[in-house]
Amino acid sequence: MNDEAKIKLIAANRKANFQYEIISRYEAGIVLLGTEVKSLRESRINLQDSYAKFIKNELWLINCHISEYKFGNINNHDPLRERKLLLNKKELKKIRSQLEEKGLTFIPVKIYFKNSLVKLEMAIARGKKLFDKRETIKRRETERKLKRF
């Protein structure tokens, strides 16, 4: 069997690295409807303001916008519905204990197809302060200048 899985990136939350300091990353499955998968194949998703939170010992993705499938009928999905994330119990316990720490949040970083399954890379992150963002911009600009010369 092939060890390397075929990975096709659907979308990435590019602002996540700028707005948050990423502490740890997890790969999670996600419960989707058929029309949602078809929309994902067209890369019609916005991870920008989404986050995950615990509801009754289950982890749910909140505020993730997957556009309606344009060829769908009356059975099309709600674009902003809450979607259940699939993780091991051990991982859920670890994530819950980390999120109880002050100032941490669980955000999606990217969504992709791994073989034929939709996977979501989630990260436990701490929001950056304004001076941290300035430091990130400064570091990025110096790296650009060094590459030019």
Q: How far apart are CA 97 and CA 147, in angstroms?
A: 41
What's the CATH number of domain 7-148, 2.40.280.10, 3.40.50.1370, 3.40.50.80, 3.40.920.10?
A: 2.40.280.10
Total-model pTM: 0.76
Q: Domain-by-domain residue ranges, the chain?
A: 7-148
pLDDT tens, per residue, the chain with 149 residues: 455 778 888 888 888 888 888 888 999 999 888 888 888 888 888 888 888 888 888 899 899 888 888 877 777 777 788 888 999 999 888 888 888 878 788 899 999 998 888 899 999 988 877 777 788 888 888 989 888 87
Burial class (CB in 10 A: 0-12, 13-18, 19+), 46: middle
Confidence at residue 2, expressed as pLDDT on a 0 to 100 scale: 55
Pairing of strands 83-86, 20-30: antiparallel
Name the residue among 133, 138, 106, 141 with its Cα closest to residue 19: 133
Q: How far apart are CA 48 and CA 74, in angstroms?
A: 27
